[in-house]
Amino acid sequence: MIWAIILFAVTYVLMLVFGKYRTYIALASAVVFIATGMLPMENILGSIDFNVLLIIIGTMGLVKLFIDSKMPALLADLVMSKASNVQIAAVALALFAGVISAFVDNVATVLMVAPVALEICKKLKTNPVPFIIAIAVSSNLQGAATLVGDTTAIMLGSYADMSFLDFFWYQGRPGIFFAVELGAVLSALILFWLFRKEKGAVEKSTERTVVTDYVPTVLLLLSIALLITASFIPKKPDITNGLICVALFAVGLIYTCIKNKKISAVVEPIKAIDFETVGLLFGLFLMLGGISNMGVIDAAAGLLAKLGGGNMFLLYTVIVWASVIISAFIDNIPYVATMLPVVTGLAAALGEDPTILYFGLLSGATLGGNCTPIGASANITGIGILRKEGYTVKNGDFFRIGIPFTLAAIIPAYIYFWFVFG
């Protein structure tokens, strides 16, 4: 197990130091995990989250058609007509992304909202890096707000037999939704402060961009509707969301081919898929499969149990903050899957209701990914979008927004859960 921890730690350090080569570093590390037997051949396919990869491929293709239709430019015009300055526009976009992400996968949300942000930044001639980072971290925050907002929320709902409404009102008390929204309000104020220097006036224009084709917009809205609908289907295949996105992209390609009357018209949307981001996530999934197979995640869960001792408040505190730290580096899905039965057993040993531990685990694990640029798939996707636009995201650029945003969101939730369910 010690070698798996060392390889994992070295890989993450290298990815943070050599940001331009993250994909190659992750893939090389994955090869080492496989070659050394730390990730057995039979576990390779099970380690890869094909659902996320298919969502990225399908949605990126749809978004390219969406951009070509000029709809993002029109939406940018509408936002700019309402925003008094750049600061307001940035915070409004982040909040908008958060609202969508409460019902749609975080990665898909970033891919849908980012084009609008890029159009706004082009019109305002301002750096889009902080805009996209703010959209990504806001998407991650709202993933815990509802049962359908994130895979980890779905996992908790299934494990604890919670319904969609239980996230709003549970055991006669306001549920996790209100804790997330409390954090959203405070983190929005943090974003408002972080963008305090962006006081440039937004130029008002009487002319609006003319949309050339509404079909891509319909397909994108249909993807949102289908993703929300699919979230209510019990025991559906794990790759359902990914198949929805890829299928709609295929429809978009067929439509484009027919409209332009040439097969070559489908080349540009396919070229728009960021295969470097797909490769990075592919490598990370294999790495995480390796450390999981070597018992690293199980060992981390056991350590948390020991640190919590027999005191409920101390146990709750350890779970929340350790989840934040661990999820900054480890994918939160296998971590939450491992910890759910652990916290249930700990609560039972103390003769306590496990609800507060469930909510503390979910909030900490969901928000922890916002601490680092490679801590969540939405962050990786946002950075990939910026890279394709020619922008380099330094670690400092991400930390400057991600860390204070995370603290502003998790601290009120931490206090809220203890007073409401403690």
If you average pLDDT over residues 132-155, what whole number do you get?
A: 83
**CA nearest neighbour of 269 among 210, 209, 208, 213:** 213
Taking the C-alpha atoms of residue 227 and residue 148, their distance in angstroms, rounded to an integer, is: 9
Give 356-401 as a 3 state SS string: HHHHHHHHHHHHHHHHCCCCCHHHHHHHHHHHHCCCCCCHHHHHHH
Non-local (6+) Cβ contacts of 421 within 8 A are 171, 173, 353, 355, 356, 359
Q: Where are the domains of the chain?
A: 2-421
CA dist 316 to 352, 356, 380, Å? 12, 7, 30
More confident residue, 301 or 350: 350
Helices 151-159 + 332-350 axis angle, to 10:
30
pLDDT tens digit sequence for 54-78: 887 887 788 788 878 888 778 777 7
3-state secondary structure of 173: strand
Tokens 């359902």, residue located: 240
Return the pLDDT at 40: 92
Quote the mean pLDDT of the chain. 84
Chain centroid offset of residue 126 CA: 24
Partnered with residue 174 across adjacent β-strands are 169
Return the pLDDT at 205: 62
Tokens 């299934």, residue located: 158
Taking the C-alpha atoms of residue 52 and residue 288, their distance in angstroms, rounded to an integer, is: 15
Partnered with residue 201 across adjacent β-strands are 85
Taking the C-alpha atoms of residue 395 and residue 392, their distance in angstroms, rounded to an integer, is: 10
List the single range of 136-140, 166-170, 338-342 with lowest mean pLDDT.
Answer: 338-342
If you average pLDDT over residues 414-422, what whole number do you get?
A: 91
Length of the chain: 422
The single-letter DSSP state of residue 85 is B
Return the pLDDT at 420: 93
Greatest mean pLDDT among 66-80, 106-120, 377-391 lies in 377-391
For residue 308, is pLDDT > 80?
Answer: no
Which is it for the CA torsion 330, 331, 336, 337, positive or negative? negative
- The total of other beta-carbon atoms located within 10 Å of residue 13's CB is 11
Q: What angle do CA 169, 410, 402 make, to 5 degrees?
A: 130
**CA nearest neighbour of 86 among 192, 215, 209, 5:** 192
Return the pLDDT at 416: 94
H helices of 294-354, in order, are: 296-308, 312-327, 332-350
List the single range of 186-195, 202-211, 224-233, 240-249 with lowest mean pLDDT.
Answer: 202-211
Taking the C-alpha atoms of residue 331 and residue 318, their distance in angstroms, rounded to an integer, is: 18
pLDDT tens digit sequence for 230-240: 767 777 887 88
More confident residue, 303 or 246: 246
Taking the C-alpha atoms of residue 117 and residue 75, their distance in angstroms, rounded to an integer, is: 9
Instruction: Give residue 386's pLDDT band: very low, low, confident or very high (50, 70, 90).
Output: very high
Give 208's Cβ-side CA count (13 Å radius).
13
Q: Above pLDDT 90, what percent of the chain?
A: 24
For residue 146, is pLDDT > 70?
Answer: yes
Greatest mean pLDDT among 197-211, 284-298, 374-388 lies in 374-388
Give 266's Cβ-side CA count (13 Å radius).
13
Return the pLDDT at 403: 93
The torsion angles phi and psi of 155, rounded to 5 degrees, stand at -60, -45
For residue 341, is pLDDT > 80?
Answer: no
Return the pLDDT at 138: 92
Contact 384, 276 (CB under 8 A): yes
Which is it for the CA torsion 141, 147, 151, 153, positive or negative? positive
For residue 147, is pLDDT > 80?
Answer: no
3-state secondary structure of 169: strand
Question: pTM of the entire structure?
Answer: 0.74
Rounded-to-10 torsion of CA 279, 280, 283, 286: -110
**Helix or strand (DSSP H, E) at 170:** strand 169-170
